[in-house]
């Protein structure tokens, strides 16, 4: 098997507008093949032992999705666009914070809507809750989970078992939302459509 992993031929996406080389990344912990299209191009992530021919078949079977994602790739959104997106997302996010803060038993001092590329939210010791405007693009229960998660950080500033127990107390089914973010979060933060999965 080991020998089959060495496949020097590059994986290509045979797209509508020509061939696009595909970056192939492997990691022992990755369980499924996944596709990502962002400003760096097309990337397949997959388990360490998966042969390149499987990546080729996976890319070929998602040809239309990749073409669409490549066409939809944002050309560096201007600061004005992000400011508008934050203003549009703010009322719903503030409403979620207002609804959940008393239930969790905390009183945030400030709600800030940001446009970070790498995180959905954060909480500071001074009581500021920061939330990503792209939560407006996630399913409502997922956005709610992020809000509850950050509010629980005003009680526990860590990811200790006590923290997760508090999240679970308020949102018993939160693991599904966390899993959703693991699967689709990066694509939304990168402003690309949710990627198809090889499994599930
Ligand atoms: Zn956290």
- Dump pLDDT digits (tens) for 125-148: 999 999 999 999 899 999 999 999
Q: Please report the pLDDT score of residue 77 as a whole number.
A: 60
**Distance from Cα 46 to the centre of ligand 1, integer Å:** 26
**Domain map (residue ranges) of the chain:** 2-72, 79-189
User: What share of the chain has pLDDT > 70, as a percent?
Assistant: 88
Residue position matching structure tokens 């200790």: 160
CA of 151 to the centre of ligand 1 (A): 9
**Mean pLDDT, residues 35-45 taken together:** 85
Whole-number Å distance, alpha carbon 84 to ligand 1 midpoint, is 26
- According to DSSP, residue 149 is labeled H
Task: Calculate mean pLDDT across residues 96-119.
Answer: 95
Q: Where are the alpha helices (H) located in the chain, listed in sequence order?
A: 2-5, 52-61, 63-72, 79-104, 140-153, 161-170, 174-189
Q: How far is the CA of 80 from the centre of ligand 1 (A)?
A: 29
Question: Could you report the per-residue pLDDT of 13-24, keeping only the tens digit for each?
Answer: 988 877 888 988
- The predicted structure's pLDDT at residue 105: 97
Q: How far is the CA of 179 from the centre of ligand 1 (A)?
A: 14
Q: How far is the CA of 45 from the centre of ligand 1 (A)?
A: 25
Distance 13 CA to ligand 1 centre (A): 37
Domain 79-189 sits in CATH at: 3.30.2010.10
CB proximity list for 60: less than 8 A, separation 6 or greater: 14
Would you state the structure tokens that stand for residue 196, as one six-digit string?
Answer: 């198809």
pLDDT number for residue 133: 94
pLDDT, mean of residues 74-87: 78
Q: What is the mean pLDDT of the segment spanning 182-194?
A: 79
Ligand 1 centroid distance, CA of 25 (Å): 27
Measure 121 CA to ligand 1 centroid, in angstroms. 8
Predicted local distance difference test score (pLDDT) of residue 1: 46
Instruction: Tell how far the Cα of 93 is from the centroid of ligand 1, in angstroms.
Output: 17
């Amino acid at each position: 098997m080991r020998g089959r992993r060495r496949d020097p031929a590059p994986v290509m996406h045979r797209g509508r507008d020509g061939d696009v080389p595909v970056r192939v990344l492997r990691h022992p912990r990755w369980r499924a093949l996944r596709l990502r299209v962002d400003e760096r191009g097309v990337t397949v992530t997959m388990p360490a032992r998966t042969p390149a021919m499987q990546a080729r078949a996976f890319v070929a079977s998602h040809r239309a999705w990749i073409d669409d994602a490549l066409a939809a790739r944002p050309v560096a959104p201007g600061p004005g666009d992000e400011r508008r997106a934050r203003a549009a997302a703010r009322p719903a996010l503030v409403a979620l914070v207002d609804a959940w803060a008393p239930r969790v038993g905390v009183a945030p001092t400030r709600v800030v809507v940001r446009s970070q590329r790498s995180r959905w939210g954060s909480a500071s010791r001074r009581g500021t809750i920061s939330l990503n405007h792209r939560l407006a693009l996630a399913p409502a229960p997922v956005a709610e989970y992020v809000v509850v998660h950050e509010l629980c950080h005003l009680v526990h500033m860590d990811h200790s078992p006590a923290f997760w127990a508090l999240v679970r107390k308020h949102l018993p089914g939160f693991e599904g939302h966390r899993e959703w973010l693991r699967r689709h979060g990066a694509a939304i933060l990168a402003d690309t459509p949710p990627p198809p999965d090889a499994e599930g």
